[in-house]
Structures are given as structure tokens and as C-alpha cells.
């Protein structure tokens, strides 16, 4: 019996160590607090300000909201703002963003509007530090080339921004090369929400690579707020907790006690 208890204690200790986020020398989180974050801008995919468009971003800035956006690379290695790896849903085109140069991407429209796929550089010039930014780096499998290229642009930006990614490799790059920048681990209940299987998705769902990535915040699907690993990060380690994606005032009010920051879309939050 003693051996069993010892094994359980060791496994519990290893679990807590694997889950441990950054505990010291943390970046200042103050610029990001007290603000709601418009998911891909204050967008309406049925109107003239679709997701991740300059018009949606301008509307978010005018409304005083922070902005969550997605960055990946074109074929000629230009950091552009676009969520999906493929173009079909938003642009009605075949292939991936990385299959086209920026000049070619600029010929495509977002949801049939006059809006185009923005360059990260142009977006930052427009925002000009007026609201804080959560920059999601889109890393498909092991190609992390977006990290140094996006960072080369972001490092010259004087406004408040942090980075996040579903892929732990992006956070590892930032820990090694830009440890002063606040970084967040995006996660989800992959085994339940997406129906994915395997050890990799178990590890990602429970954020068991935090000991390598040392995130400053966890951004989690708000529907699974009760996930044990997420709660340990927030309540035991006092890690900043970010909720995605809140889609109604009812959801926002229900989750206020469980998260610190909120990414929203599909409604205008009440003050």
C-alpha cells in the first residue's frame, strides 16, 4: 500500500511540474487588463467588415476594444493576417495562404467584400498603440518560420502586444529568443470538442508541455472552464486566464469569475 501511495504522489508531483507556467520574472500584464478583446476584430462576416479585415480592426479600435488577430506567412514570407490555413472558407479560393505570394493574395476578397488580406505591418501602423493586441501565431506542425519574421515587425511596434499559439513550438521560440514578451498557450478540450485522438492531443489539452513553454497566460475554450489543468494554472499557480471565444452577454456574465480576460465576437458587450 505504501508503494502505491508513493507512486501516486510521484505522479501527482510530476503532473504539477509539467503544468507549471512561468512563475518569476514575468512581463507586466497591466496593459492588457480591464479590456475586452474583439475576436479577429469587431467583425461581421455577413456585412462589410469581415473577420481579420482592416475595417473590422478599425471598428474595434473606435469601440475601445483590444484586438485578437491571427498571423501567418505568405509564399514570399510576408506576415499576413488570416485565420485558416486554407483560403476556401473566407476567400472562396483553393489552396493555402502559403501557396500564394502577398501580391497574389491581395487580389482575393474577404467574404466577397472590398476588404483584402492585411499585412501585419499595415495593421500595426493603423492601430498605432491605441489598444492592446493578442497576436496568435499560426504554426502548422513544425514550421516556426512565422515567429522570427513576425517578431521582426512586432519588435519595432511601440504599443502593447502579447503573443499566443496553439503550437508549443512557437512559445518555445519566444521563450528562447524574446523572453521579455508576454506569451500564452492556447488550448482546447481537443479530445471532446474536436473528437481528436492520441497522446499528442491529450498532452496539448492538458498543457503538459508548460514546463518547456513557460506561458504567462492560458487561453482556453470557455466552454471547458472546469478542465482540471486549466483550473490548477489559474488557482494554484495564479496564471492569467483568458477565455475564448465568448459569443453572448450571457456567456460573458457566466464566466467572469473563471477567467481574467475575455475574447468575444458575435455581440457587443454591455459596459
Q: How confident is the model at residue 196 (pLDDT cuts 50, 70, 90)?
A: confident
Q: How far apart are CA 263 and CA 245, in angstroms?
A: 5
**pLDDT, the chain, mean:** 97
Q: Residue 67 has what pLDDT?
A: 98
Please, which pLDDT band fits residue 230 given cuts at 50, 70 and 90? very high
**Residue carrying the nine cell digits 487588463:** 33
Task: Report the C-alpha gap between 234 and 258 in whole angstroms.
Answer: 9
pLDDT at residue 124, rounded to an integer: 98
pLDDT at 139: 98
Please give the class, per CATH, of domain 30-85+120-264: alpha beta
Under the banding of pLDDT at 50, 70 and 90, the label for residue 194 is confident
Residues 263-267 have a mean pLDDT of 97
Residue in the block written with cell 475574447 = 263
200 pLDDT tier (thresholds 50, 70, 90): very high
Model pLDDT for residues 5-57, shown as the tens digit of each residue: 899 999 999 999 999 999 999 999 999 999 999 999 999 999 999 999 999 99
Tens of pLDDT, residues 238-259 = 999 999 999 999 999 999 999 9
Residues 222-251, mean pLDDT to the nearest whole number: 98
- Burial letters for 257-267: b for 16+ Cβ neighbours within 10 Å, e otherwise? ebbebbbbbee
The predicted pLDDT at position 178 comes to 98
CA–CA separation, 60 and 266 (whole Å): 13
pLDDT in tens, 96-146: 999 999 999 999 999 999 999 999 999 999 999 999 999 999 999 999 999
Domain coordinates in residue numbering, the chain: 30-85+120-264
DSSP 235: I
The band of 193, judged by pLDDT with boundaries at 50, 70 and 90, is: confident
Q: Is the pLDDT of residue 271 over 80?
A: no
Amino acid at each position: 500500500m505504501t508503494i502505491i501511495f508513493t507512486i501516486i504522489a510521484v505522479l501527482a508531483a510530476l503532473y504539477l511540474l509539467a503544468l507549471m507556467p512561468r512563475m518569476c520574472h514575468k512581463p507586466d500584464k497591466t496593459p492588457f487588463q480591464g479590456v475586452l478583446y474583439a475576436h479577429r476584430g469587431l467583425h461581421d462576416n455577413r456585412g462589410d467588415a469581415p473577420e481579420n479585415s482592416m475595417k473590422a480592426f478599425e471598428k474595434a479600435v473606435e469601440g475601445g476594444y483590444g484586438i485578437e488577430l491571427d498571423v501567418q506567412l505568405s509564399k514570399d514570407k510576408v506576415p499576413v493576417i488570416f485565420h485558416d490555413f486554407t483560403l476556401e472558407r473566407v476567400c472562396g479560393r483553393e489552396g493555402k495562404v502559403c501557396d500564394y505570394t502577398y501580391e497574389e493574395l491581395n487580389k482575393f476578397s474577404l467574404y466577397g467584400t472590398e476588404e483584402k488580406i492585411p499585412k501585419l505591418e499595415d495593421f500595426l501602423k493603423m492601430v498605432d498603440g491605441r489598444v492592446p493586441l493578442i497576436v496568435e501565431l499560426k504554426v502548422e506542425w513544425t514550421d516556426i518560420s512565422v515567429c522570427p519574421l513576425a517578431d521582426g515587425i512586432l519588435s519595432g511596434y511601440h504599443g502593447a502586444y502579447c503573443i499566443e499559439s496553439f503550437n508549443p513550438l512557437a512559445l518555445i521560440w519566444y521563450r528562447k529568443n524574446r523572453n521579455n514578451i508576454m506569451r500564452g498557450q492556447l488550448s482546447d478540450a481537443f479530445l471532446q470538442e474536436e473528437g481528436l485522438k492520441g497522446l499528442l492531443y491529450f498532452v496539448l489539452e492538458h498543457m503538459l508541455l508548460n514546463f518547456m513553454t513557460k506561458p504567462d497566460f492560458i487561453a482556453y475554450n470557455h466552454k471547458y472552464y472546469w478542465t482540471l489543468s486549466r483550473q490548477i494554472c489559474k488557482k494554484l499557480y495564479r496564471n492569467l486566464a483568458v477565455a475564448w471565444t465568448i459569443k453572448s452577454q450571457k456567456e460573458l456574465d457566466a464566466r467572469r469569475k473563471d477567467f481574467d480576460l475575455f475574447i468575444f465576437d458575435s455581440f457587443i458587450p454591455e459596459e
